[in-house]
Amino acid sequence: MKLSGLGEFGLIKKLQKKCSNISHDVLYGIGDDAAVVKGTDKKNLITSDMLIEGVHFDLSYTTFSQLGYKFLAVNISDILAMGGDPKYFLISLGIPRDFEAHYIYDMYSGIKKIARKFGVIVIGGDTCTSGFGLVLSGALIGNAKKVITRSGAKAGDGIFITNTLGDSAMGLHLLKKWGKKIHKFSPTTHRLKLIKKHLMPELTPLKSTTKITSMIDVSDGVLADLSHICDESKVGAIIYKDHIPLSRGLEAMAKRLGKDPYEFALKGGEDYSLLFTAPSNYRTDAYKIGEIVKKGRYIVDSNGEKTTFRPEGYEHFR
Amino acid sequence: MKLSGLGEFGLIKKLQKKCSNISHDVLYGIGDDAAVVKGTDKKNLITSDMLIEGVHFDLSYTTFSQLGYKFLAVNISDILAMGGDPKYFLISLGIPRDFEAHYIYDMYSGIKKIARKFGVIVIGGDTCTSGFGLVLSGALIGNAKKVITRSGAKAGDGIFITNTLGDSAMGLHLLKKWGKKIHKFSPTTHRLKLIKKHLMPELTPLKSTTKITSMIDVSDGVLADLSHICDESKVGAIIYKDHIPLSRGLEAMAKRLGKDPYEFALKGGEDYSLLFTAPSNYRTDAYKIGEIVKKGRYIVDSNGEKTTFRPEGYEHFR
């Protein structure tokens, strides 16, 4: 059904049903002027992210369900990066008038899929017409007993990363190169795994944040995001290139395409791994990729050669 | 300066300075993955609204400062309509690449103007490129001891409205009719007042909400919004047409244009008056425009003639 037939209030009613609240903490959800949640003794975390068609996503690459999944995932990632638990999600949608209603329902299925995984409840939002493409804006509320910022890294700390880097950037590269044809390849290939990493990022929350001194999620590329930690903590960093975790898929595809996998791993965005610092001997499943120093920002390669790095990565407006 | 010269992080730094936090409740504001505010014993309210260029605003009618003002105003209105105090505002912006940076600074001036008036603190957000027009999405956090929903109206209650109705719709009508030329008229005329009501809506918070049984803000038009209260409270309503407060400006301009002012007052959107119900003898500065009944939705005109009303007003997607 076209949204022009369903109308705004019709759509909201449908979405309300799809987001029936299951928590006693949500006193009022979708359907009033604002959502109401119980107060809490913990610190409240709030983040918001906007995804715009043609800038952040291409509807010829992604399904609506994948898009919904990623939309909430990028917001959850921001809350995890502060050491918090994601709780309540508000969705604002700008929707082209000729959209089919089931596009939006499919998107909500994707949102609910990851919401269930992380215990997030969709509590409200706003829908309106967009004169051009689809616009998604989300605000995610979370809470934390201990908040981890970007500013607590100390010289001597180790630098850790929860997941392999560069897969998402390679996935995007493949989508741009082959577009829809990519889906004809066998689903067991590296290609589809890399593409999935781009379309439905894997989030790995930390089990404990007790000894973590600073944290950020890798959205702009690890060099850019580590630079944020250095800026805010007023420290330097050394990364050991051969400690950077690469997936077998990234290595294989980069070789095949004659590309340097480290270009993807160091500068590629949207990995949504957690990058954190902790005492050097910290025991964790995460990969240790370097250490915090007093000054300077260096990459050391396998020959021990040291080069300065700059915060290269994806930046808007440039 | 063009944003393409300033870059995303450059812009965020500038905006961060413009939103320096002045409250001890905000532990971390703009500049990390998420904003952090102290927990509270009260109920938390959260609302979000999206404004899209060409749908919700026209940059040839509004200044950026007025746009910023209205952007936060519509969010504050949602929190007031729940009986709450607005507290923290998160801003997500999708900005065309060729925008001048001072457009955005001007918009923030407008946001700060109303933020100061209501004690709201801008705590963070997200900026990104938009491939088409300007997109504004805001999430506003508030809190309340007593939450007023749309569902508490009881037969016998009076229906009240805080401000005159229809001014904003007439203001928009004038802008569409005369466009930029409107500014050549003397600023003392009714025209400019009506236009200002559209561009910078006046919000009138209630001093007390003790006896209020239900409330909504008039964003879609009073008939549409009163219908929401009837739906949620499972009651009917009678409106007395000659009790509807009209401004002298609306009456004068409607006469001049040969229009029915009540068409604007009853169906026009974006007034952002508060529409509430309370015991019939409730003492208030607000205008009493009707009463809640068990069933049916009627308008009674000055001759005592009764006609049924439908939830007519502005609806997206139609």
Q: Please, are residues A278 and A158 in contact by the beta-carbon 8 Å criterion?
A: yes
* Mutation for testing the A interface, residue in B50, B75, B82, B231 having most A CBs under 10 Å: B50
How many C-beta neighbours within 10 Å does residue B318 have? 14
- pTM of the shown model: 0.87
Whether residue B270 is predicted with pLDDT greater than 70 in this model: the reply is yes
B26-28 β-sheet, strand order: A121-130, A85-96, A135-144, A43-52, B35-37, B26-28
pLDDT in tens, B121-139: 888 777 888 988 999 999 9
Phi (first) and psi of residue B190, to 5 degrees: -55, -35
Whether residue A85 is predicted with pLDDT greater than 80 in this model: the reply is yes
- The alpha carbon of residue B304 is apart from the nearest alpha carbon of chain A, in Å, by 32
pLDDT in tens, B45-78: 888 889 999 999 999 989 999 999 999 999 999 9
Residue A6: predicted pLDDT: 66
- The alpha carbon of residue B189 is apart from the nearest alpha carbon of chain A, in Å, by 33
Whether residue B184 is predicted with pLDDT greater than 70 in this model: the reply is no
Taking alpha carbons only, the member of B154, B164, B165, B166 closest to residue B282 is B154
Whether residue B7 is predicted with pLDDT greater than 60 in this model: the reply is yes
Instruction: Give the C-alpha separation, B24 to B296, whole Å.
Output: 50
Residue B86: predicted pLDDT: 93
Which chain B residue's Cα is nearest to A93? B50
Query: Sorting pLDDT into bands at 50, 70 and 90, what band is A129?
Result: confident
Taking alpha carbons only, the member of A72, A317, A143 closest to residue B15 is A317
Sign of CA dihedral A158, A160, A166, A168: negative
Residue A145: predicted pLDDT: 85
Which chain B residue's Cα is nearest to A50? B92
Whether residue B146 is predicted with pLDDT greater than 90 in this model: the reply is no
Phi (first) and psi of residue A110, to 5 degrees: -65, -40
DSSP B98: T
Instruction: Give the C-alpha separation, A293 to B63, whole Å.
Output: 48
Burial of B178 (0-12, 13-18, 19+ CB in 10 A): middle
How many C-beta neighbours within 10 Å does residue A49 have? 23
CATH architecture of A158-308: Alpha-Beta Complex (3.90)
pLDDT higher at A242 or B127: A242
Whether residue A132 is predicted with pLDDT greater than 50 in this model: the reply is yes
Q: Please, are residues A117 and A151 in contact by the beta-carbon 8 Å criterion?
A: no
Q: Is A7's CB within 8 Å of B38's CB?
A: no
Query: Sorting pLDDT into bands at 50, 70 and 90, what band is A45?
Result: confident
Instruction: Give the C-alpha separation, B182 to B192, whole Å.
Output: 8
Whether residue A43 is predicted with pLDDT greater than 50 in this model: the reply is yes
- Give the count of alpha carbons within 13 A of A34, CB side only: 33
- The alpha carbon of residue A165 is apart from the nearest alpha carbon of chain B, in Å, by 19
Q: Please, are residues B171 and B197 in contact by the beta-carbon 8 Å criterion?
A: yes
What would the 3-class secondary structure string for A55-74 be?
CCECCCCCCHHHHHHHHHHH
DSSP A53: B
Instruction: Give the C-alpha separation, A151 to A138, whole Å.
Output: 26
Average pLDDT, chain A: 87
- The alpha carbon of residue B84 is apart from the nearest alpha carbon of chain A, in Å, by 10
Q: Please, are residues A120 and A165 in contact by the beta-carbon 8 Å criterion?
A: no
Query: A-chain residues within 8 Å CB-CB of B125?
Result: 48
Q: Is B135's CB within 8 Å of A94's CB?
A: yes
Least confident of A28-37, A200-209, B175-184: A28-37
Residue B282: predicted pLDDT: 95
Say if domain A3-144 classifies as CATH 3.30.750.24: no
Q: Is A131's CB within 8 Å of B52's CB?
A: yes
Q: Please, are residues A90 and A33 in contact by the beta-carbon 8 Å criterion?
A: no
Greatest Cα pair distance, chain B, in angstroms, is 65
- Percent of chain A exceeding pLDDT 90 equals 62
Listed in sequence order, the residues at least 6 apart from A254 whose beta carbon sits closer than 8 Å to its beta carbon are A170, A260, A261, A264
Q: Please, are residues B153 and B292 in contact by the beta-carbon 8 Å criterion?
A: yes
A209 token code pair: 């944040």
Instruction: Give the C-alpha separation, B182 to B174, whole Å.
Output: 8
Q: Are strands B306-308 and B274-278 parallel, antiparallel or unpaired?
A: unpaired
- ipTM, 2 dp: 0.83
Residue A318: predicted pLDDT: 42
Mean pLDDT throughout A92-112?
A: 89
Query: Sorting pLDDT into bands at 50, 70 and 90, what band is B169?
Result: very high
Instruction: Give the C-alpha separation, B205 to B243, whole Å.
Output: 21
- The alpha carbon of residue B298 is apart from the nearest alpha carbon of chain A, in Å, by 22
Q: Is B41's CB within 8 Å of A46's CB?
A: no
Mean pLDDT throughout A292-316?
A: 87
For chain A, the domains span 3-144, 158-308
How many C-beta neighbours within 10 Å does residue B17 have? 9
Q: Is B39's CB within 8 Å of A43's CB?
A: yes
Residue B294: predicted pLDDT: 97
pLDDT in tens, B225-266: 999 999 999 999 999 999 999 999 999 999 999 999 999 999
DSSP A30: B
Listed in sequence order, the residues at least 6 apart from A310 whose beta carbon sits closer than 8 Å to its beta carbon are A223, A227, A297
Taking alpha carbons only, the member of B148, B147, B167 closest to residue B275 is B148
Q: Is B33's CB within 8 Å of A216's CB?
A: yes
Whether residue B318 is predicted with pLDDT greater than 50 in this model: the reply is no
Between A94, A140, A316, which is nearest B50 by CB? Answer: A94
Instruction: Give the C-alpha separation, B55 to B36, whole Å.
Output: 33
Q: Please, are residues A30 and A125 in contact by the beta-carbon 8 Å criterion?
A: yes
Query: A-chain residues within 8 Å CB-CB of B38?
Result: 43-44
Q: Please, are residues A150 and B32 in contact by the beta-carbon 8 Å criterion?
A: yes
B35 token code pair: 């904003």
